[in-house]
Amino acid sequence: MAMRSLAKRPGGFVAGFLAVFFGAAMVMAFGSLLDTAGGPGVPESSVETLETMAFVVGGYGLALVIFAVVSTMSLTVRQRAREMALLKSVGATPGQVRRLIVGETMLLALAAVALAVPASMLLGRLLFAALRETGQVDAGIEHVFGPAAVSMGVANGLTAALVGALLTARRATRMRAVEAMVDAAGAGEAGPLMGRWRWIGALLGLAATAGAVVTTLTVMDGEGVDVFMSAGPGVVAAALTVALLAPVLLRVTTVLLGWPVRLLGGVSGQLAVGNVRRRTGELARAVMPVTLFTTVTAGTLAMQRLENVQLKAEGAVVLEESRTMETMNYVVVGIIAAFCCIMLVNTLVAATAFRRREFGQQRLAGATPGQVLRMVGAESALVAGAGVVFGLLASLTALVPFAHARAGVWFPSDGWVWGIHGAVAGFAVLITLVASVGTARRLIRRSSAVEAVLAA
């Protein structure tokens, strides 16, 4: 049954497939550095660099990958609420529905992980080449892709997909058929804005962020480049905390900006605010990658800029010793930012494409295509605004303590530090608008309003 469903509706599974594919490829690429470090004749200094890059950077990426994959897989399965409701209405038991969801998800994840292997081999080779060209590993070492990389990627991809499937299956099996049909029709979101486990995760993330801030301001104060050892994990912890709080933050943003959006947007603005209020939980899935991208990218690049300014004042010897940390930070930003952008576009396209029937109904009710697109644009502005504003605030929880511990100031005076924040925010807003409005425009141009309603 799972195979038939995948073959019948492949489009609905693209988002989940891509999430597992890119996540597994990233983890395998970093895992290959462990295979390389374990090779014969590798100098101890190179082993230390490779293992640090694999564990530290790979660890950051692993946390974000699991988070993103679980969120995307949950969205992919949740979009089939109507199908789940119909199955339950004709007598399917909760166990059968659960096995269907898990079976489909694991088949999808297995295919994604298998195809991620060649991509991760190329990515791992490029990553190793960057380390060798900057002189951080011995020139005679050859890149190795082996069991450590494969086992890490397979375990991560399959575990994240399984967790996402089980969480969504639990929600689907607990809802009665009538409730599921109402939920699928978009009439509203039942239940609390955030579940108990989400609150627990947010509180744990908040505690981790606070611990990193205290450590940076006390233990690491005046420790030079080693300040990154606490500030780096701190910015990732802050990013995950804000991402977990995305439904609450989106609701707050809607309350604060709802009136100006309705005033400036007219009918489209009113529809947008109503949709965001009614579908906060669903749209919050798009806020999460925005906050992750904004927090990690702005925070890490700004700290590295401040570090470079300090290093120029301290001399070339310190600059040489900090080269590994600088490369590691740029790799963190490059890999994680690219992954978050992919997940953002992936989530927005999947969520917007699922609304084909809704757009058709609005057009049958008298809305013009332009009004529908402006509605989607206003929704995207609220989503991007919530992600960017709170993402930038979260990045400051790492940058401010880092600036005090490293340079003795609370707020850096270097203009590039704040210019980085502005550039990151602008890029996040642009990506959000292009992905959502572009998808809606293609849906509207592809079929008439009647065809969209009948085909959905």
Q: What is the structure's pLDDT at 2? A: 45
3 state DSSP class of 188? coil
Task: Report whether 27 contacts 119 (CB < 8 A).
Answer: no
Q: What is the structure's pLDDT at 4? A: 47
The CA distance from 105 to 304, in Å, is: 39
Selection from 106, 101, 246, 109 nearest residue 168 by Cα:
101
The CA distance from 260 to 252, in Å, is: 14
Q: What is the structure's pLDDT at 396? A: 93
Q: What is the structure's pLDDT at 191? A: 56
Q: What is the structure's pLDDT at 108? A: 83
Angle at 240 between CA 81 and CA 337, to 5 degrees: 95
Q: What is the structure's pLDDT at 304? A: 85
Residue type at position 152? M
How many residues belong to the chain?
456
Q: What is the structure's pLDDT at 395? A: 93
The CA distance from 248 to 386, in Å, is: 10
Q: What is the structure's pLDDT at 249? A: 92
Q: What is the structure's pLDDT at 9? A: 47
Angle at 68 between CA 63 and CA 73, to 5 degrees: 130
Q: What is the structure's pLDDT at 189? A: 52
Q: How many helices (H) and strands (E) does the chain have?
A: 18, 0
**What DSSP state is assigned to residue 12?**
G
pLDDT along the chain (456 residues), means of 10: 45 68 84 86 80 70 66 63 66 76 83 90 86 76 88 84 75 59 50 78 92 89 76 87 91 88 83 84 83 89 85 61 65 73 77 77 80 88 92 93 87 86 92 87 77 60
Question: Which H or E run includes 208?
Answer: helix 196-217
The answer to pTM > 0.75 is yes
Q: How many CB atoms lie within 10 A of CB 342?
A: 18
Q: What is the dihedral of CA 100, 106, 107, 109, to 10 degrees?
A: 140
